[in-house]
């Protein structure tokens, strides 16, 4: 074997070993995190600010609690615009975000590193989002493909107090994170089976075009018409509707409901 080939082999072995070690250390740490008791104060916050939680079966409550522990151990929260972070803010966001992970294999938003929280609507440019434009606009929340989510706390709280209106900024932005796990925000998250993508594309494309038509014609729609912006926004809005208006979605858009049910693998209508 030539010297360059030996060097390449050694480098690959070192990198591979480092990755294996990092994975082992993370798994060991997470086992300790999961084994720790769930704080009573955290559960009080979740019961107060995540209405479906009290109707979860025991298995789902236990799973959500474990995800919240992992989320709190791995993610960094930062208060912005003068907001002082407390446990209620962090646990409320973590619990709603982790609801999207229930009953399916997930690594708890592996690409996500930081959650920035403003007290209320904030002004931000579009750079770093789905668009590269640099104009400014008022925001309730946004999801960056660089491992950052930004949320307005008053909008998060509003989503907690009314879990039936189809509007939830936390679910919306964390749905974007799921969409971005494959590196692009295109309305097609990682589905797990290659065979699932054709049906997903067919159904969501059809539903997206129908929502665009309703928006253009000024017709009523079950889903927020912001979902007609692009396929990524459609998936995020559809996620809000699936969790907050499951019975109506199942009745009016059965194919879309079935695709989302297949992806999220839960039955939110049982929590109403």
Using the predicted structure, report yes or no on whether residue 258 has a pLDDT greater than 90.
yes
**186-272 maps to CATH 3.40.50.150:** no
**18-161 maps to CATH 1.10.3720.10:** no
**Mean pLDDT within 78-89:** 97
Higher-confidence residue: 45 or 125? 45
Compute the distance between CA of residue 116 and CA of residue 251 in angstroms, rounded to an integer.
Answer: 37
Compute the distance between CA of residue 27 and CA of residue 56 in angstroms, rounded to an integer.
Answer: 27
Listed in sequence order, the residues at least 6 apart from 82 whose beta carbon sits closer than 8 Å to its beta carbon are: 119
pTM of the model: 0.86
Compute the distance between CA of residue 24 and CA of residue 91 in angstroms, rounded to an integer.
Answer: 27
**CB-CB contact of 42 with 87 (8 Å):** yes
- The pLDDT of residue 69: 97
How deeply is 79 buried, as exposed, middle or buried, from its count of CB atoms within 10 A (0-12, 13-18, 19+)? middle
Compute the distance between CA of residue 100 and CA of residue 71 in angstroms, rounded to an integer.
Answer: 13
Q: What is the pLDDT of residues 162-174, one digit of tens each?
A: 999 999 999 999 9
CATH 1.10.472.150 residue ranges for the chain: 18-161
Q: Give the pLDDT band of residue 224 (cuts 50, 70, 90).
A: very high
Using the predicted structure, report yes or no on whether residue 21 has a pLDDT greater than 60.
no
Q: What is the pLDDT of residues 138-162, one digit of tens each?
A: 788 999 888 999 999 999 999 998 9
């Amino acid at each position: 074997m030539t010297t360059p080939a030996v060097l390449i082999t050694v480098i690959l072995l070192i990198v591979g070993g480092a990755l294996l070690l990092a994975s082992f250390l993370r798994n060991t740490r997470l086992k300790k995190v999961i084994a720790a008791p769930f704080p009573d104060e955290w559960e009080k916050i979740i019961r107060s600010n995540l209405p479906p939680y009290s109707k979860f079966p025991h298995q789902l409550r236990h799973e959500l609690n474990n995800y919240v522990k992992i989320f709190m151990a791995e993610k960094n929260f930062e208060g912005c615009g003068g907001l002082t972070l407390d446990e209620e803010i962090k646990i409320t966001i973590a619990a709603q975000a982790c609801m999207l992970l229930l009953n399916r294999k997930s690594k708890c938003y592996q690409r996500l590193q930081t959650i920035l929280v403003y007290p209320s609507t904030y002004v931000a440019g579009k750079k770093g989002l789905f668009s590269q434009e640099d104009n400014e606009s008022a925001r309730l929340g946004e999801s960056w493909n660089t491992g950052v989510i930004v949320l307005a706390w008053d909008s998060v709280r509003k989503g907690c107090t009314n879990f039936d209106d189809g509007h939830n900024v936390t679910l919306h932005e964390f749905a974007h994170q799921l969409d971005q796990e494959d590196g692009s925000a295109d309305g097609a998250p990682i589905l797990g089976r290659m065979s699932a993508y054709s049906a997903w594309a067919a159904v969501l494309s059809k539903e997206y075009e129908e929502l665009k038509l309703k928006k253009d014609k000024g017709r009523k729609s079950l889903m927020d018409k912001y979902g007609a912006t692009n396929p990524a926004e459609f998936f995020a809005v559809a996620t809000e509707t699936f969790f907050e208006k499951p019975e109506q979605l199942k009745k009016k858009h059965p194919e879309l409901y079935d695709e989302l049910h297949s992806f999220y693998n839960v039955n939110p209508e049982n929590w109403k």
